[in-house]
A = this chain, B = another copy of it.
Amino acid sequence: MYTKRIFPIAGVLKWTRRHILLFIVLAFIPVFLFDVLGLKWLHVPWLPLGVLGTAVAFIVSFKNNASYDRLWEARKIWGGIVNASRSWTIMVKDFINNDHTDKDRTEEEIQAIKRELVHRHVAWLTALRYQMREERPWEMHLKSKRSNIEFRASKYRVCEDVEDLEGAIKSYISEAEYKEVLAKGNQASQLLGIQSRRLKELMNLGLIEDFRHMEMTNMLVEFYTLQGKSERIKNFPYPRQFATLNYLFVWIFILLIPYGIMEEFESFGEKILGLLSKHEERSSLMHVTQEAIAKHFVWFSVPFSALITWVFYTMEAIGE
């Protein structure tokens, strides 16, 4: 998580520099055709474009809303995992003891059991973390797009890219368990299954009292629920049909904008020319310069169009 108040603006510009260039080119095309090649009929009326713009703003804002909600829900789930892990630690510490055993264990044995349960929980956390870092088809673009690769390279070091899951969890569980866990599909689920089996054994040995065993099993059910929720967020992206159409609508709007904006600037150029012809008491040089500007006023639409298209594009892109 980036933690400054806002990203430095230079960074944002650098990150989107390829698109900025593209938008300048897109804005340049109609002006070139109009003013240099003389295609005076090249116009799109602004008003219907405005309604389209409002509709696009609606759906983009709706998408950003949905994507913020997903982010917030993901954060809640992770917070829930933190809370449940703390509670698990308390339970392990206070519920395992010699109170109901036939044959008392030494303090060291008890400590070893507690350590084992906590370590296996860390292994579960690790497995879940790796699972969340796996790539999905709809995330491809996040990694493969050049701008992102550069950005990540310069800023982050994702530890999941450096060490693999096998190495990361090996130290937390026994050799036998390690083999059992890696043999089948979902490692995190396997680990919770082992925890459950182990709790059962401990209860049979009298190290956990009957009701407290049920409490701890309930905590495992809670872990399953949290894991399932994480997987749901991970595996169910913003519905693709919505995403595709949003993407199309924004690009349709972006492609039309320069033509609509050029028209507005062109009318302005006309008006300024009219103004200038009336106020002829101005100094000659000034007047000539201004007239030249007015005649080619339409060129000012290039940066303006690029700015507007950039805003709409970026608005759509952050929600992804």
A interface vs B, CB < 8 Å?
A: 1-7, 9, 12, 38-41, 43-55, 57-62, 64-66, 68, 71, 75-76, 79-80, 82-83, 86-87, 90, 93-94, 99, 136-141, 189, 192-193, 196-197, 199-200, 204, 210-212, 214-215, 217, 220-221, 224-225, 227-229, 231-232, 236, 239-245, 247-249, 252, 257, 260-261, 263-265, 267-268, 272, 275-276, 279, 282, 286, 290, 293-294, 297, 304, 307-308, 311-312, 314-315, 318
Asked whether A51 lies within 8 Å of B54 as measured between CB atoms, the reply is: yes
Asked whether A7 lies within 8 Å of B240 as measured between CB atoms, the reply is: yes
Q: Which residue of B lies closest to A200 (CB)?
A: B94
Asked whether A64 lies within 8 Å of B240 as measured between CB atoms, the reply is: no
Asked whether A224 lies within 8 Å of B312 as measured between CB atoms, the reply is: no
Q: Which residue of B lies closest to A186 (CB)?
A: B86
Asked whether B3 lies within 8 Å of A45 as measured between CB atoms, the reply is: no
Given A138-B5, A244-B12, A311-B52, A44 contacting B304 (CB threshold 8 A): yes
Given A4-B138, A53-B54, A297-B41, A62 contacting B61 (CB threshold 8 A): yes
Asked whether B315 lies within 8 Å of A41 as measured between CB atoms, the reply is: no
Asked whether A52 lies within 8 Å of B308 as measured between CB atoms, the reply is: yes
Given A229-B79, A247-B6, A261 contacting B45 (CB threshold 8 A): yes
Asked whether B48 lies within 8 Å of A48 as measured between CB atoms, the reply is: no
Taking a contact as CB atoms closer than 8 A, the residue among B5, B214, B228, B252 that contacts A86 in the complex is: B228
Given contacts A45-B265, A245-B314, A245-B315, 5 further A-B contacts (CB under 8 A): A44-B304, A45-B264, A52-B308, A71-B239, A90-B221
Rounded to whole angstroms, the CA-CA distance of A238 and B33 in the bound complex is: 44
Asked whether A68 lies within 8 Å of B290 as measured between CB atoms, the reply is: no
Q: Specify which chain B residues have a CB less than 8 angstroms from the CB of A200 in the assembled complex.
A: 94
Given A51-B50, A140-B5, A272 contacting B43 (CB threshold 8 A): yes
Given A48-B260, A214-B215, A282-B38, A225 contacting B83 (CB threshold 8 A): yes
Q: Specify which chain B residues have a CB less than 8 angstroms from the CB of A248 in the assembled complex.
A: 9, 12
Shortest beta-carbon distance from A257 to chain B in Å: 8
Please name 15 pairs of A and B residues whose Cβ atoms are closer than 8 Å in the assembled complex, sorted by A.
Answer: A2-B241, A3-B240, A5-B140, A5-B240, A41-B297, A50-B50, A59-B315, A62-B68, A66-B68, A79-B231, A82-B228, A83-B225, A90-B217, A90-B224, A94-B217
